[in-house]
Each structure stands twice: as structure tokens, then as C-alpha cells.
Amino acid sequence: MKQPTSEATVLVWDGGLRIFHWSLAASVTGAWATQELGPAYMDWHMAFGCAALALVVWRLAWGFVGPRTARFSDFVRPPREMTAYVNSLRSGPKQRFSGHNPLGAFSVVAMLALVLIQALTGLGNSDDIFFDGPWHHVLPDSVSDRLSYIHSVNFWILVTLIALHVGAIFAHWLFLRENLVVPMLSGKKPRRETAEGTGIAGQKPGLALALALASAALVGLLVGLAPEPPPMDFDMF
């Protein structure tokens, strides 16, 4: 007999985490696209970059106070568990997870760290002609040059990881017959695809919103507290 929908699916991702995910994907894509469009779009580049920074700050806090599947303690595992999981894909019974699997967990942490580095280095970066990050002029040239270098190299590491991320999700669908995208949209997974039908009980929307406001305020302060750049010295012309 067909089970009622409420029993056939289990809530595994809370609403805050889903909004976070798709907003992060949009901000990172927006930051990349706007710097490709040229100097006229650098204000937008900074806006998308700062949005990505606020989202990661939110996610770091959510990893401690959010529902079970969002918590770092639920999915960050020692490397040997990651290796065991990869080996288990070739043989043995298929393991099910309500949240991130050990390999996915590694890429989650790495992507969050890379976006954080990308956005923080951007704050001290400059194109040396049209646009400076808000903290650029208070840093010695040697430091801002280093940040600029990290900003350009780290971006390609991030792009590689995002490509692997999307590739792994496609491989899950192709080889393991598991659609991970629908749960990241709806929050729900078929019960048979979770670990013993376990999901999350509450989504804590009030706390998620309060943290979102606090994260945005923190990034606003980080940008707003940067001292005004000194006036341009036109005597040199």
C-alpha cells in the first residue's frame, strides 16, 4: 500500500540552510560575473562578495546552533571515515545519510573556507586604477599585493571545487540513483534514502533570521569601519 506523503518523506534540510545555499551560489556567481564585466561593475562585485561573506558568517554560526543536519558536529568526520565511505561506494551495502555524507562534508567545509578567504582578501584588494577594496589603503603595499595574489589564485581553487561539487551531485544521480538537488530545494528526502528515516524536527526560523541580521550587520561594520581613503594628490600631474 502507498504510504501517505508525510510518511514517505522526511525533512532533512531546514529552510534557512536552503536559502543560504542558493543565495551563496548566486552571490559567488554574481561576484565572478561582475568582475568579468569590467571596472564599471566593481561596486556590484563588492556587493556580491560582501553578501557571500555575510552568508558564510551566518553558516558558521548555524553550524553550531542550527538543526541537527546543519551542525558541524553531525557531519565533520575524521579523514579515515571519508576513506571508508569512498571504499564502501565500490563494495558493500549502500550507506544512507540524512545530511551530508563524509565526502560531501569535506567539500562543504572546504568551500566555506575558500569563500571566506576569497571575500576577506577582496576587502584589501585593488585593481590599482579604478577600484579599491575598503581596507586597501590602510595596508602596506606588500600586504595588499599578497592579498591580491591570493584573491586571484584562491578563485581558481574555488572554481575547481565547485565543479567537483556539481559533478559529484550529478554522479550521485547517475550512478547511485539519488537525487540530491530536490532535497536542497524542498528540504525533504524520501524516507528510504535517509539513515533509518531520521530527519530534523524544527527549523528555528526566528533564530535563523536573527543570525542573518547579525551577520549582515557584522559585515556592514567591517566595511563601514574602514577609514576614508586619503584625498587624491593631483599635484603629481
Query: Minimal distance in Å, beta carbon 54 to ligand HEM?
Result: 10
Under the binding rule (CB under 6 A), the answer on residue 55 touching ligand HEM is: no
- Only one residue has cell 599635484, namely 235
**Which one of 76-84, 87-95, 176-184, 191-199 is the stretch in contact with ligand HEM (CB under 6 A)?**
176-184
Query: Minimal distance in Å, beta carbon 159 to ligand HEM?
Result: 8
Query: Minimal distance in Å, beta carbon 151 to ligand HEM?
Result: 6
Q: Which residues from 82-141 bind ligand HEM, rule CB under 6 A?
A: 100, 104, 108, 111-112, 115, 118-119, 122-123, 125-127, 131, 133
Q: Which of 24, 57, 200, 211 binds ligand HEM (CB under 6 A)?
A: 24
Under the binding rule (CB under 6 A), the answer on residue 68 touching ligand HEM is: no
Q: Which of 148, 194, 203, 215 binds ligand HEM (CB under 6 A)?
A: 148
Under the binding rule (CB under 6 A), the answer on residue 19 touching ligand HEM is: no
Query: Minimal distance in Å, beta carbon 114 to ligand HEM?
Result: 9
**Which one of 2-10, 177-185, 190-198, 224-232 is the stretch in contact with ligand HEM (CB under 6 A)?**
177-185
How crowded is the C-beta side of 81, counted as CA atoms within 13 Å? Answer: 12
| DSSP string for residues in the chain | -PPPHHHHEEE-S-HHHHHHHHHHHHHHHHHHHHHHH-GGGHHHHHHHHHHHHHHHHHHHHHHHHS-GGG-HHHH---HHHHHHHHHHHHSSSPP--SS--HHHHHHHHHHHHHHHHHHHHHTT-B-SSS-B-TTGGGS-HHHHHHHHHHHHHHHHHHHHHHHHHHHHHHHHHHHS----HHHHHHSEEEGGGSGGG---S---HHHHHHHHHHHHHHHHHHHHTSPPPPPP-GGG-
Under the binding rule (CB under 6 A), the answer on residue 200 touching ligand HEM is: no
8 A C-beta contact, residue 57 and residue 24: no
Binding site for ligand HEM (CB under 6 A): 17, 20-21, 24-25, 28-29, 31-32, 35, 45-46, 49-50, 52, 59, 100, 104, 108, 111-112, 115, 118-119, 122-123, 125-127, 131, 133, 148, 151-152, 155, 162, 165-166, 169, 180-181, 184
